[in-house]
Amino acid sequence: MINFALFGAGRIGSIHGNNVVKNKGARLLALHDPFAENADRLSSELGCEQMTAQQIFASDEIHAVLICSATDTHADLIEKAAAAGKHVFCEKPIDLSLPRVQQCMEKISRYDCKTMVAFNRRFDPHFQALQQQIAAGVVGEVEMVSIISKDPAPPPIEYIKLSGGLFRDMTIHDFDMARFLLAEKVVTVSAQASCQVDAAIGAAGDVDTAVITLATSSGKLAQISNSRRASFGYDQRIEVHGSAGMLTAQNVNENTVTVYNEAGVSSAKPLHFFLERYAEAYRCELDSFIRCLQGEPVEVPTMEDGLQALMLAEAALLSLQQGRTVNLSELG
Protein backbone atom coordinates (compact mmCIF):
# COMPACT_ATOMS: atom_id res chain seq x y z
CA MET A 1 0.00 0.00 0.00
CA ILE A 2 1.52 3.33 -1.08
CA ASN A 3 0.69 6.32 1.14
CA PHE A 4 0.40 9.68 -0.57
CA ALA A 5 0.27 13.32 0.35
CA LEU A 6 -1.07 15.87 -2.06
CA PHE A 7 0.16 19.43 -2.67
CA GLY A 8 -2.49 21.60 -4.28
CA ALA A 9 -6.25 21.16 -3.90
CA GLY A 10 -7.32 22.83 -7.13
CA ARG A 11 -8.86 21.21 -10.15
CA ILE A 12 -5.97 18.95 -11.10
CA GLY A 13 -5.20 18.16 -7.46
CA SER A 14 -8.77 17.02 -7.05
CA ILE A 15 -8.47 14.69 -10.05
CA HIS A 16 -5.32 13.00 -8.77
CA GLY A 17 -6.54 12.96 -5.16
CA ASN A 18 -9.73 11.18 -6.17
CA ASN A 19 -7.78 8.68 -8.25
CA VAL A 20 -5.53 7.87 -5.29
CA VAL A 21 -8.57 7.27 -3.10
CA LYS A 22 -10.16 4.91 -5.64
CA ASN A 23 -6.94 2.98 -6.30
CA LYS A 24 -6.72 -0.26 -4.34
CA GLY A 25 -2.95 0.02 -4.05
CA ALA A 26 -2.82 3.46 -2.46
CA ARG A 27 -4.12 5.72 0.29
CA LEU A 28 -4.23 9.48 0.57
CA LEU A 29 -3.04 10.44 4.03
CA ALA A 30 -2.83 14.20 3.78
CA LEU A 31 -3.08 17.25 1.61
CA HIS A 32 -1.76 20.76 1.72
CA ASP A 33 -3.00 23.91 0.04
CA PRO A 34 -2.29 27.44 1.25
CA PHE A 35 -5.73 28.43 -0.05
CA ALA A 36 -7.82 27.25 2.91
CA GLU A 37 -11.11 27.01 1.12
CA ASN A 38 -9.75 24.54 -1.43
CA ALA A 39 -7.93 22.60 1.26
CA ASP A 40 -11.04 22.30 3.44
CA ARG A 41 -13.30 21.28 0.61
CA LEU A 42 -11.03 18.62 -0.85
CA SER A 43 -9.79 17.14 2.42
CA SER A 44 -13.39 16.74 3.48
CA GLU A 45 -14.39 15.22 0.14
CA LEU A 46 -11.51 12.77 0.19
CA GLY A 47 -11.54 12.05 3.91
CA CYS A 48 -7.90 12.96 4.55
CA GLU A 49 -6.02 15.19 6.95
CA GLN A 50 -4.58 18.62 6.23
CA MET A 51 -0.87 19.00 6.96
CA THR A 52 1.79 21.63 6.46
CA ALA A 53 4.52 20.94 3.94
CA GLN A 54 6.91 20.46 6.84
CA GLN A 55 4.66 17.85 8.43
CA ILE A 56 4.33 16.04 5.16
CA PHE A 57 8.05 15.83 4.58
CA ALA A 58 8.63 14.81 8.18
CA SER A 59 6.03 12.04 8.20
CA ASP A 60 7.41 8.51 8.14
CA GLU A 61 4.10 7.16 6.90
CA ILE A 62 4.08 9.09 3.65
CA HIS A 63 5.87 7.39 0.78
CA ALA A 64 5.12 9.69 -2.11
CA VAL A 65 3.85 13.17 -2.93
CA LEU A 66 1.65 14.48 -5.70
CA ILE A 67 2.71 17.99 -6.69
CA CYS A 68 -0.31 19.80 -8.11
CA SER A 69 0.38 23.24 -6.67
CA ALA A 70 1.26 26.45 -8.55
CA THR A 71 3.96 26.00 -11.19
CA ASP A 72 6.50 28.20 -9.42
CA THR A 73 6.46 25.91 -6.37
CA HIS A 74 7.14 22.68 -8.29
CA ALA A 75 10.91 22.62 -8.40
CA ASP A 76 11.21 23.53 -4.73
CA LEU A 77 8.79 20.88 -3.61
CA ILE A 78 10.49 18.27 -5.78
CA GLU A 79 13.83 19.03 -4.15
CA LYS A 80 12.43 18.92 -0.65
CA ALA A 81 10.50 15.76 -1.30
CA ALA A 82 13.53 14.03 -2.73
CA ALA A 83 15.63 15.13 0.23
CA ALA A 84 12.96 13.77 2.57
CA GLY A 85 13.02 10.41 0.81
CA LYS A 86 9.63 10.72 -0.86
CA HIS A 87 8.85 9.61 -4.38
CA VAL A 88 7.53 12.40 -6.60
CA PHE A 89 4.65 12.68 -9.05
CA CYS A 90 4.75 16.23 -10.45
CA GLU A 91 2.35 18.05 -12.70
CA LYS A 92 3.82 19.61 -15.82
CA PRO A 93 5.74 21.84 -16.24
CA ILE A 94 8.54 21.25 -13.75
CA ASP A 95 9.34 24.94 -14.07
CA LEU A 96 9.07 27.59 -16.76
CA SER A 97 12.83 28.20 -16.60
CA LEU A 98 15.11 25.73 -18.27
CA PRO A 99 18.09 26.40 -15.96
CA ARG A 100 15.87 25.97 -12.90
CA VAL A 101 14.71 22.58 -14.19
CA GLN A 102 18.29 21.53 -14.83
CA GLN A 103 19.35 22.69 -11.38
CA CYS A 104 16.50 20.79 -9.77
CA MET A 105 17.37 17.63 -11.64
CA GLU A 106 20.97 17.89 -10.59
CA LYS A 107 20.03 18.43 -6.96
CA ILE A 108 17.82 15.39 -6.72
CA SER A 109 20.16 13.17 -8.67
CA ARG A 110 21.89 12.16 -5.46
CA TYR A 111 18.66 10.82 -3.94
CA ASP A 112 17.19 7.47 -4.68
CA CYS A 113 13.63 8.59 -5.34
CA LYS A 114 11.38 7.77 -8.25
CA THR A 115 9.99 10.72 -10.17
CA MET A 116 7.27 11.05 -12.74
CA VAL A 117 6.18 14.10 -14.73
CA ALA A 118 2.46 14.03 -15.44
CA PHE A 119 2.23 13.81 -19.21
CA ASN A 120 -1.21 12.28 -18.92
CA ARG A 121 -1.84 11.85 -22.63
CA ARG A 122 0.65 9.02 -22.85
CA PHE A 123 -1.87 7.07 -20.76
CA ASP A 124 -4.97 7.79 -22.83
CA PRO A 125 -6.19 4.33 -23.91
CA HIS A 126 -6.58 5.45 -27.53
CA PHE A 127 -3.10 6.92 -27.79
CA GLN A 128 -1.72 3.92 -25.90
CA ALA A 129 -3.30 1.61 -28.45
CA LEU A 130 -1.81 3.71 -31.23
CA GLN A 131 1.65 3.66 -29.66
CA GLN A 132 1.46 -0.09 -29.17
CA GLN A 133 0.64 -0.53 -32.85
CA ILE A 134 3.71 1.52 -33.75
CA ALA A 135 5.83 -0.58 -31.40
CA ALA A 136 4.38 -3.72 -32.98
CA GLY A 137 5.59 -2.50 -36.36
CA VAL A 138 2.12 -2.29 -37.87
CA VAL A 139 3.07 0.75 -39.98
CA GLY A 140 6.75 -0.02 -40.43
CA GLU A 141 9.17 2.80 -39.78
CA VAL A 142 7.57 6.01 -38.46
CA GLU A 143 8.13 8.80 -41.01
CA MET A 144 5.71 11.56 -40.03
CA VAL A 145 3.72 12.24 -36.86
CA SER A 146 0.84 14.74 -36.90
CA ILE A 147 -0.63 15.97 -33.65
CA ILE A 148 -3.76 18.09 -33.58
CA SER A 149 -4.36 19.68 -30.23
CA LYS A 150 -6.89 22.44 -29.68
CA ASP A 151 -8.67 23.64 -26.58
CA PRO A 152 -12.37 24.46 -26.70
CA ALA A 153 -11.74 28.02 -25.49
CA PRO A 154 -8.84 30.12 -24.25
CA PRO A 155 -8.21 30.35 -20.51
CA PRO A 156 -8.63 33.71 -18.70
CA ILE A 157 -6.08 36.29 -19.78
CA GLU A 158 -4.62 36.30 -16.24
CA TYR A 159 -3.82 32.65 -16.65
CA ILE A 160 -2.24 33.31 -20.04
CA LYS A 161 0.03 35.96 -18.53
CA LEU A 162 1.47 33.52 -15.98
CA SER A 163 1.47 30.51 -18.28
CA GLY A 164 4.87 30.94 -19.87
CA GLY A 165 3.20 31.20 -23.26
CA LEU A 166 1.48 28.76 -25.59
CA PHE A 167 4.53 26.58 -26.22
CA ARG A 168 5.45 26.02 -22.56
CA ASP A 169 1.88 25.77 -21.36
CA MET A 170 -0.09 23.93 -24.00
CA THR A 171 2.21 22.66 -26.73
CA ILE A 172 4.39 21.05 -24.10
CA HIS A 173 1.97 18.10 -24.02
CA ASP A 174 2.30 17.79 -27.78
CA PHE A 175 6.08 18.02 -27.66
CA ASP A 176 6.08 15.15 -25.23
CA MET A 177 3.67 13.14 -27.37
CA ALA A 178 5.82 13.75 -30.47
CA ARG A 179 8.89 12.52 -28.58
CA PHE A 180 6.95 9.51 -27.29
CA LEU A 181 5.85 8.49 -30.78
CA LEU A 182 8.96 9.42 -32.77
CA ALA A 183 11.14 7.45 -30.36
CA GLU A 184 14.20 9.23 -31.75
CA LYS A 185 16.04 12.39 -30.77
CA VAL A 186 14.50 15.60 -32.13
CA VAL A 187 17.21 17.85 -33.56
CA THR A 188 15.42 20.82 -35.15
CA VAL A 189 12.32 22.86 -34.40
CA SER A 190 10.53 25.35 -36.61
CA ALA A 191 7.50 27.29 -35.42
CA GLN A 192 4.95 29.54 -37.08
CA ALA A 193 2.29 31.21 -34.98
CA SER A 194 -0.11 34.10 -34.77
CA CYS A 195 -2.77 35.66 -32.64
CA GLN A 196 -6.13 35.02 -34.26
CA VAL A 197 -8.41 34.04 -31.40
CA ASP A 198 -8.19 36.96 -28.98
CA ALA A 199 -6.26 40.20 -29.42
CA ALA A 200 -5.75 40.36 -25.65
CA ILE A 201 -3.55 37.28 -25.93
CA GLY A 202 -1.42 39.09 -28.50
CA ALA A 203 -1.29 42.15 -26.29
CA ALA A 204 0.05 39.92 -23.52
CA GLY A 205 2.88 38.91 -25.84
CA ASP A 206 1.58 35.46 -26.57
CA VAL A 207 0.15 33.61 -29.58
CA ASP A 208 -3.00 31.51 -29.75
CA THR A 209 -2.64 29.62 -33.03
CA ALA A 210 0.48 27.73 -34.02
CA VAL A 211 2.02 25.17 -36.29
CA ILE A 212 5.30 23.60 -35.17
CA THR A 213 7.48 21.21 -37.15
CA LEU A 214 10.07 18.92 -35.58
CA ALA A 215 12.72 16.82 -37.30
CA THR A 216 14.79 14.00 -35.88
CA SER A 217 18.36 13.04 -36.66
CA SER A 218 17.29 10.50 -39.29
CA GLY A 219 14.80 12.86 -40.95
CA LYS A 220 11.52 11.78 -39.32
CA LEU A 221 9.13 14.73 -39.20
CA ALA A 222 6.45 15.74 -36.74
CA GLN A 223 3.93 18.52 -37.07
CA ILE A 224 1.83 19.97 -34.29
CA SER A 225 -1.25 22.16 -34.81
CA ASN A 226 -2.49 24.21 -31.91
CA SER A 227 -5.34 26.57 -31.32
CA ARG A 228 -6.65 28.02 -28.10
CA ARG A 229 -10.20 27.69 -29.45
CA ALA A 230 -12.24 24.97 -31.13
CA SER A 231 -15.91 25.82 -31.01
CA PHE A 232 -16.90 22.17 -31.22
CA GLY A 233 -14.86 21.08 -28.21
CA TYR A 234 -11.52 19.59 -27.29
CA ASP A 235 -9.73 18.46 -30.45
CA GLN A 236 -7.15 15.80 -29.67
CA ARG A 237 -6.11 13.65 -32.58
CA ILE A 238 -2.97 11.92 -33.77
CA GLU A 239 -1.86 10.54 -37.10
CA VAL A 240 1.27 8.52 -37.70
CA HIS A 241 2.45 7.94 -41.23
CA GLY A 242 4.94 5.11 -41.63
CA SER A 243 6.73 3.24 -44.33
CA ALA A 244 4.05 0.53 -44.31
CA GLY A 245 0.86 2.41 -43.48
CA MET A 246 -0.87 4.99 -41.34
CA LEU A 247 -2.38 5.02 -37.87
CA THR A 248 -4.98 7.51 -36.69
CA ALA A 249 -6.54 8.10 -33.29
CA GLN A 250 -9.71 10.14 -33.51
CA ASN A 251 -11.57 12.23 -30.96
CA VAL A 252 -13.81 10.46 -28.48
CA ASN A 253 -17.41 11.53 -28.90
CA GLU A 254 -20.09 12.15 -26.31
CA ASN A 255 -22.20 9.27 -27.60
CA THR A 256 -22.76 7.13 -30.70
CA VAL A 257 -26.13 8.58 -31.68
CA THR A 258 -26.58 9.96 -35.19
CA VAL A 259 -29.61 11.88 -36.45
CA TYR A 260 -30.58 11.68 -40.12
CA ASN A 261 -33.13 14.16 -41.31
CA GLU A 262 -33.96 16.64 -44.00
CA ALA A 263 -31.28 19.02 -42.75
CA GLY A 264 -28.54 16.42 -42.98
CA VAL A 265 -26.76 13.90 -40.81
CA SER A 266 -25.57 14.96 -37.39
CA SER A 267 -23.75 13.24 -34.60
CA ALA A 268 -22.41 14.01 -31.16
CA LYS A 269 -19.53 16.36 -30.48
CA PRO A 270 -16.14 15.34 -29.11
CA LEU A 271 -15.93 15.20 -25.32
CA HIS A 272 -15.78 18.81 -24.28
CA PHE A 273 -12.45 19.23 -22.49
CA PHE A 274 -9.65 17.45 -20.69
CA LEU A 275 -11.67 16.48 -17.62
CA GLU A 276 -13.96 14.36 -19.79
CA ARG A 277 -11.53 13.33 -22.50
CA TYR A 278 -8.70 12.31 -20.24
CA ALA A 279 -10.58 11.00 -17.18
CA GLU A 280 -9.42 7.49 -17.99
CA ALA A 281 -5.92 8.72 -18.85
CA TYR A 282 -5.60 10.33 -15.40
CA ARG A 283 -6.68 7.09 -13.73
CA CYS A 284 -4.18 5.04 -15.73
CA GLU A 285 -1.43 7.58 -15.23
CA LEU A 286 -1.64 7.45 -11.46
CA ASP A 287 -2.08 3.73 -11.48
CA SER A 288 1.11 3.42 -13.51
CA PHE A 289 3.01 5.51 -10.97
CA ILE A 290 1.70 3.35 -8.14
CA ARG A 291 2.64 0.16 -9.91
CA CYS A 292 6.03 1.65 -10.67
CA LEU A 293 6.54 2.35 -6.96
CA GLN A 294 5.45 -1.22 -6.22
CA GLY A 295 8.34 -2.40 -8.34
CA GLU A 296 6.53 -3.32 -11.52
CA PRO A 297 8.44 -2.66 -14.77
CA VAL A 298 6.13 0.16 -15.87
CA GLU A 299 7.49 2.95 -18.08
CA VAL A 300 6.50 6.43 -16.94
CA PRO A 301 7.58 9.88 -18.18
CA THR A 302 10.52 11.11 -16.18
CA MET A 303 12.07 14.45 -15.17
CA GLU A 304 14.25 14.03 -18.26
CA ASP A 305 11.13 13.84 -20.41
CA GLY A 306 9.90 17.01 -18.71
CA LEU A 307 13.20 18.71 -19.46
CA GLN A 308 13.26 17.60 -23.09
CA ALA A 309 9.71 18.83 -23.72
CA LEU A 310 10.59 22.18 -22.20
CA MET A 311 13.66 22.42 -24.41
CA LEU A 312 11.46 21.91 -27.47
CA ALA A 313 9.23 24.72 -26.21
CA GLU A 314 12.27 26.99 -25.80
CA ALA A 315 13.47 26.12 -29.29
CA ALA A 316 10.03 26.79 -30.75
CA LEU A 317 9.96 30.20 -29.13
CA LEU A 318 13.39 31.02 -30.49
CA SER A 319 12.37 29.80 -33.95
CA LEU A 320 9.29 31.98 -33.90
CA GLN A 321 11.23 35.03 -32.75
CA GLN A 322 14.00 34.64 -35.31
CA GLY A 323 12.06 33.22 -38.24
CA ARG A 324 14.35 30.26 -38.66
CA THR A 325 14.78 26.60 -37.92
CA VAL A 326 16.46 26.12 -34.55
CA ASN A 327 18.81 23.29 -33.80
CA LEU A 328 18.42 21.88 -30.28
CA SER A 329 22.17 21.97 -29.84
CA GLU A 330 21.96 25.77 -29.78
CA LEU A 331 20.23 25.59 -26.40
CA GLY A 332 23.38 24.23 -24.83
Site for its own copies in 51-70 (CB under 8 A): none
Residue whose CB is less far from its own copies, 138 or 328: 138
Which residues 6+ apart lie within 8 Å of 275 measured at CB?
A: 11, 15
Question: Concatenated DSSP letters for 190-246?
Answer: EEEEE--S-HHHHHTT--SEEEEEEEETT--EEEEEEES--TTS-EEEEEEEETTEE
Pattern 102-141, binding to its own copies, x per CB under 8 A? Answer: -----------------------xx--xx--x----xxxx
**Does 323 interact with its own copies (rule: CB under 8 A)?**
yes
Pattern 6-25, binding to its own copies, x per CB under 8 A? Answer: ----------------x---
Residue whose CB is less far from its own copies, 130 or 293: 130
Q: What DSSP character marks residue 154?
A: P
Pattern 148-167, binding to its own copies, x per CB under 8 A? Answer: x-x-----------------
Site for its own copies in 176-235 (CB under 8 A): 188, 190, 192-197, 209-211, 213, 215, 218-221, 223, 225, 227, 229-232, 235
Residue type, 75: A
Site for its own copies in 276-295 (CB under 8 A): none
Q: What DSSP character marks residue 272?
A: -
Residue whose CB is less far from its own copies, 95 or 206: 206
**Does 321 interact with its own copies (rule: CB under 8 A)?**
no
SS (H, E, C) 1-16: CEEEEEECCCHHHHHH
**Does 244 interact with its own copies (rule: CB under 8 A)?**
yes
What separation in angstroms does the CA of 255 have from each of 237, 252, 258, 268, 271? 17, 9, 9, 6, 9
